[in-house]
Amino acid sequence: MKTNSGAKKRFALTGTGKIKRKHAFKSHILTKKTKKQKRNLTHAATVASADRSAVLELLALK
């Protein structure tokens, strides 16, 4: 099975096996968002356990 090209650009595995992702809503229309909101969107997050199996399937790791 091929790896999904969009998924490999958006997700990364950590050393412990969790999946890192970026926050949405940080690419444009930033003038109406507060500094705090933009700052909090900068940090990486982890994929929820409910979505983990779907992402692993896209990355052809399952």
pLDDT tens digits along 3-62 = 999 999 999 999 999 999 999 999 999 999 999 999 999 999 999 999 999 999 999 997
**What is the model's pLDDT at position 47?**
98
**What is the model's pLDDT at position 62?**
77
pLDDT-derived band at 1 (thresholds 50, 70, 90) equals confident
Could you give the 3-state DSSP secondary structure of residue 53? helix
Q: How far apart are CA 9 and CA 3, in angstroms?
A: 11
pTM comes to 0.84
Cβ–Cβ contacts within 10 Å for residue 35, how many? 7
**What is the model's pLDDT at position 24?**
97
